[in-house]
Amino acid sequence: MPELPEVETIRRGLVSVMAGEVIVKTQVRRADLRWPFPDRMAERLTGVRVLALRRRSKYILVDLSSGETLLVHLGMSGRILISVPEIVCSARKRLGEFHHFHPAPEKHDHVVFEMANGARITFNDARRFGVMDLMDTVKAEAHPLLSVLGPEPLGNEFNESYLVEKFKNRNTPVKLALLDQHLVAGLGNIYVCETLYRARIHPATKTGKLKKLKVIAMVPIIRNVLVEAIAAGGSSLRDYRQADGELGYFQHSFQVYGREGEPCLTQDCVATISRIVQSGRSSFYCPSCQR
């Protein structure tokens, strides 16, 4: 499932073709994804201008001139692809003529947006675990999927004192605590594994047992891992692609994730990367460096 860096990369790609532009046509090519689409979704998403594109945790939020916000979650295999014709004749930019410039829709292209600038944005989801919903922009933070989220790890509310307080007196393994979206929003398995390796913390260590200085040191490490991953366009595993169809390449910088049995990359460490399963998810770590 795409994590925060992948979703942020896609959001940034969409800004260049959607922000400030009018959606001249919306095609909804099935009745549902993970859940049914909102009533009259195609109608409500046609003829409106995109005011802004935001990200909250792993959700993309598209604010519209209609006073509504489109919520998008990619699920397990969802992809958002952008098609921009190299040459668009102004006489053919009328509604309904974009098919002359774009590839024909594929089997799993479930929602298609045609923009006034000629761009086509397609939501493709083979497994249909993705989500789309519409809500009043002023009430967006009260949406059931958003209201339960903790602070953004790159935001000011997520800081050293916050994490120390949240970890205090808890008996939760640190790996699972960082994956708890109520505690911090957007962190996923890949980047928590990488964070704990850099922080030299075993993933099974109970949060209440961590020394305060260790907890404090984790905050900038989390931010650095995420910033580096965003700069690399995220990590391409299985279905993930950037909005322009390109692969992210942070996976080439993995120090532990997916490296079971391979040598630890820390200088002078002779251990190999191990894997344990925590709540059904693989945790990769160095048994020598992370104790």
Please name which of 113, 96, 94 lies closest in space to residue 26, comparing C-alpha atoms.
Answer: 113
Distance CA 213, CA 57 (A): 26
Distance CA 249, CA 164 (A): 32
- Segment 124-135, tens digit of pLDDT: 998 899 999 999
pLDDT exceeds cutoff 80 at 99: no
Provide the pLDDT for residue 86: 56
User: Which fold is adopted by the domain 4-142?
Assistant: N-terminal domain of MutM-like DNA repair proteins (3.20.190)
pLDDT exceeds cutoff 70 at 4: yes
- Segment 204-253, tens digit of pLDDT: 999 999 999 999 999 999 999 999 988 887 654 444 344 555 544 455 57
pLDDT exceeds cutoff 50 at 50: yes
Least confident residue range of 77-91, 149-163, 167-181, 224-238 = 77-91
For residues 241 and 166, the answer to whether their CB atoms sit within 8 Å is no
Task: Provide CATH 3.20.190.10 ranges for the chain.
Answer: 4-142
The stretches of 232-256 forming alpha helices (DSSP H) are: none
Q: Which two tokens stand for residue 17?
A: 């073709």
Task: Provide CATH 1.10.8.50 ranges for the chain.
Answer: 160-285
Q: Across the strands, what pairs with 36?
A: 32
Sign of the Cα pseudo-torsion (187, 64, 80, 40, in order):
positive
Please name which of 145, 136, 107 lies closest in space to residue 124, comparing C-alpha atoms.
Answer: 107
Residues comprising the chain, all counted: 291
Has domain 160-285 been given CATH number 1.10.8.50?
yes
For residues 77 and 127, the answer to whether their CB atoms sit within 8 Å is yes
Confidence of residue 100 (pLDDT cuts 50, 70, 90): very low
Please name which of 285, 54, 83 lies closest in space to residue 192, comparing C-alpha atoms.
Answer: 285
Q: What is the pTM of this model?
A: 0.87
Q: CB-based contacts of 137: which residues, under 8 Å, 6+ apart? A: 63, 64, 67, 68, 69
Which of helix, strand or coil describes residue 142?
A: helix
- Residues annotated catalytic, as ranges: 2-3, 58, 281
pLDDT exceeds cutoff 90 at 61: yes
Q: What is the Cα gyration radius of the chain?
A: 21
pLDDT exceeds cutoff 50 at 87: no
Please name which of 107, 108, 89, 110 lies closest in space to residue 98, comparing C-alpha atoms.
Answer: 89
